[in-house]
């Protein structure tokens, strides 16, 4: 990581304040992946009236010139666009560069930011960021630097998190100030206005980002899948590696959306991590196979996506009594269940269709009075039954933590008693027995680690079994 670069400064700020700032998860991205990501995130500006401040770093002006016509349309829907790059012929002469709200910052060739690729979008209602720098010759190893553009690799990360985007914007403005103090002052005034809007009650903790985030994520997946199906002609590279990079970022898009939804719930910001950990532990008690445990964990991390358009802390059940024709491995069959935005987004990725099926049916009731399909008893997929019970149990734990001074042992007991009141109608009685066993183990000191996933390395969460496993889960084994 180049000293003095924006990526290095941000990384150092988070490494030196571990108790105050969340550690950053970095990954390696092919240029193909970054082009798809940037275009998808930029398109959100063209689709809505966010009027953001957008700051970019293009390494060299020639890369900006490839996007300059597109940036003209973006500038028309932005408050300010600032472009950093080492100047090339035509960099300042292009018509987009002459727009009143477009500013060019000509970086010195020795500036470490001239080796970075950044897209920073900040508005009160939409934030997104790609922050990367190209691997050095030493990083490429014995193969040396790539001879084709497609093979170029970049180290960094991307996110929707408002606070992180705002923090990075401040670093970028400071860097711009070394070249253009007047532009720095102008950007700082604009950012202060946006930051004040973000502090208003209706925009706190990124809630506004979740309003249309499903559309942005679907656009990200569309771009990545297009790149995967139609890679640029440099076929000499290891296409499998490129496809894995694209696939990993499709999953990252969903995980980042789920992460932002958790952050928006100030009372229960660790819901996804806790639900994933508890659900996986229940699966282990049921002696489920490893591929099914894998799927349970991923479903737990993404479980709130099913309620994307509902209240984040009190999702309403889907309508009951609707017939269903659903096969996670046969997307060509029509679906009779209502398609809510979050689950519809998941279905765009073939290896997440099994997860979409689990999330679709977490609103079913054991007695058949739930939705969306009115399934009864063992007709409800096992993972859906586990996930729904754990989600309710964890939500009750969070509410009790916030409202009472109970000991950890008492919290577990009270949360279980809350679930037990609906035994036989909402919940599978056998699963309640298994949950009780898990609670006893926790009360006796069994440690159940709750960790946020390293999203930059998202591919490990996908299991090839998810493509071939049956859509319906195995019958519930006898209670241990």
Could you tell me the CATH number of the domain that includes residue 368?
Answer: 1.10.3210.10
Q: 353 and 229 in one domain?
A: no
Q: 136 and 36 in one domain?
A: yes
Q: 330 and 200 in one domain?
A: no
Q: How many domains does the chain have?
A: 2
Q: What is the pLDDT along the chain (480 residues), one digit of tens a residue?
A: 889 999 999 999 888 776 677 778 788 888 888 888 899 899 999 988 899 999 999 888 888 888 989 999 999 999 999 999 888 867 888 899 999 999 999 999 899 999 899 999 999 888 999 999 988 888 777 777 777 777 788 888 888 888 899 999 999 999 999 999 999 999 999 999 999 888 774 444 444 455 567 777 778 888 777 765 555 544 444 556 667 777 777 787 788 878 777 877 778 888 998 999 999 999 999 999 988 998 899 999 998 887 664 433 333 333 333 333 344 444 444 444 555 666 777 887 777 888 889 999 999 999 999 988 899 999 999 999 999 999 999 999 999 998 889 999 999 999 999 999 999 999 999 999 999 999 999 999 888 877 666 655 554 455 555 444 433 333 333 333
For 122-162, the DSSP string reads: E-SS-EEEEEEEEPPHHHHGGG-S-SSGGG-EEEEEEE--H
Which of these three, 228, 260, 292, is where a domain ends? Answer: 260
Q: 123 and 215 in one domain?
A: yes
Query: Torsion over CA of 171, 172, 175 and 177, rounded to 10 degrees?
Result: -110
DSSP state of 15: H
Q: 212 and 274 in one domain?
A: no
Q: 287 and 182 in one domain?
A: no
- Which pLDDT belongs to residue 211? 59
- Which pLDDT belongs to residue 19? 66
Q: 424 and 316 in one domain?
A: yes
Q: 205 and 277 in one domain?
A: no
- Is residue 251 within 8 Å of residue 349, measured between CB atoms? yes
DSSP state of 254: H
**Token pair recorded at residue 270:** 């660790």
- Which pLDDT belongs to residue 308? 61
Residue 1 falls within a domain, yes or no?
A: no
- Which pLDDT belongs to residue 144? 74
Q: 383 and 464 in one domain?
A: yes
Residue 95 falls within a domain, yes or no?
A: yes
- Is residue 386 within 8 Å of residue 448, measured between CB atoms? no
For 41-83, the DSSP string reads: HHHHHHHS----EEEEEEEEHHHHHHHHHHHHHHHHT-SEEEE
Q: 38 and 113 in one domain?
A: yes
- Which pLDDT belongs to residue 399? 93
Q: 298 and 174 in one domain?
A: no
Sign of the alpha-carbon torsion through 358, 158, 310, 414: positive
Which of these three, 199, 230, 260, is where a domain ends? Answer: 260
Residue 479 falls within a domain, yes or no?
A: no
Q: 287 and 175 in one domain?
A: no
Residue 253 falls within a domain, yes or no?
A: yes
- Is residue 128 within 8 Å of residue 216, measured between CB atoms? yes
Alpha carbons 38 and 219: distance in angstroms, whole number? 11
Which of these three, 241, 260, 279, is where a domain ends? Answer: 260
Q: Kindly report the CA angle at 363 between 358 and 367, in degrees rounded to 5?
A: 110
Residue 178 falls within a domain, yes or no?
A: yes
Owning domain of residue 199: 6-260
Alpha carbons 292 and 474: distance in angstroms, whole number? 10
């Amino acid at each position: 990581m180049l000293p003095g670069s924006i990526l290095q400064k941000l990384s150092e700020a988070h490494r030196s304040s571990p108790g105050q700032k969340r550690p950053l998860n970095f990954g390696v991205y092919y240029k193909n992946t970054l082009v798809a990501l940037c275009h998808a995130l930029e398109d959100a500006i063209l689709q809505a009236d966010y009027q953001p401040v957008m700051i970019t770093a293009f390494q060299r002006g020639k890369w900006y010139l490839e996007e300059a016509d597109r940036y003209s349309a973006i500038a028309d829907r932005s408050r300010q666009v600032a472009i950093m790059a080492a100047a090339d012929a035509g960099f300042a002469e292009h018509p987009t560069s002459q727009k009143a709200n477009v500013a060019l910052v000509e970086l010195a060739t020795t500036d470490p930011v001239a080796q970075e690729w950044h897209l920073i979008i900040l508005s009160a209602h939409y934030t997104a960021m790609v922050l990367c720098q190209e691997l050095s010759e030493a990083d490429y190893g014995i193969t040396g630097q790539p001879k084709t553009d497609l093979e170029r690799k970049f180290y960094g990360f991307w996110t929707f998190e408002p606070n992180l985007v705002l923090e990075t914007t401040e670093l970028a403005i400071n860097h711009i100030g070394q070249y253009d103090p007047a532009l720095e002052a102008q950007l700082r005034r604009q950012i202060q206005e946006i930051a004040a809007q973000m502090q208003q009650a209706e925009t706190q903790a990124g809630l506004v980002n979740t309003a249309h985030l499903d559309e942005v994520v679907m656009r990200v997946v569309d771009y990545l899948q297009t790149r995967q199906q139609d890679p640029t002609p440099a076929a000499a590279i290891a296409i499998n590696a490129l496809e894995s990079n694209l696939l990993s970022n499709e999953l990252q898009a969903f995980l980042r959306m789920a992460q932002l939804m958790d952050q928006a719930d100030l009372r229960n910001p660790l819901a996804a991590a806790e639900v994933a950990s508890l659900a996986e532990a229940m699966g282990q008690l049921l002696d489920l196979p490893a591929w099914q445990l894998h799927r349970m964990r991923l479903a737990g991390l993404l479980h709130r996506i099913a309620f994307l358009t509902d209240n984040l802390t009190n999702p309403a059940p889907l309508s009951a009594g609707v017939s269903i024709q659903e096969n996670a491995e046969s997307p060509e069959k029509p679906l009779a269940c209502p398609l809510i935005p979050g689950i519809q987004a998941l279905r765009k990725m073939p290896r997440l269709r099994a997860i979409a099926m689990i999330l679709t049916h977490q609103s079913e009731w054991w007695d058949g009075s739930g939705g969306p399909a009115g399934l009864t008893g063992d007709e409800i997929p096992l993972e859906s039954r586990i996930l729904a019970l754990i989600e309710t149990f964890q939500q009750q734990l969070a509410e009790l933590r916030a409202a009472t001074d109970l000991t950890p042992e008492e919290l577990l007991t009270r949360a279980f008693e809350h679930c037990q009141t609906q035994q036989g109608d909402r919940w599978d009685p056998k699963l309640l027995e298994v949950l009780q066993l898990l609670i006893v183990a926790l009360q006796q000191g069994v440690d159940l680690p709750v960790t946020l996933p390293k999203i930059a390395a998202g591919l490990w969460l996908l299991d090839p079994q998810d493509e071939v496993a049956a859509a319906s889960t195995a019958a519930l084994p006898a209670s241990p």
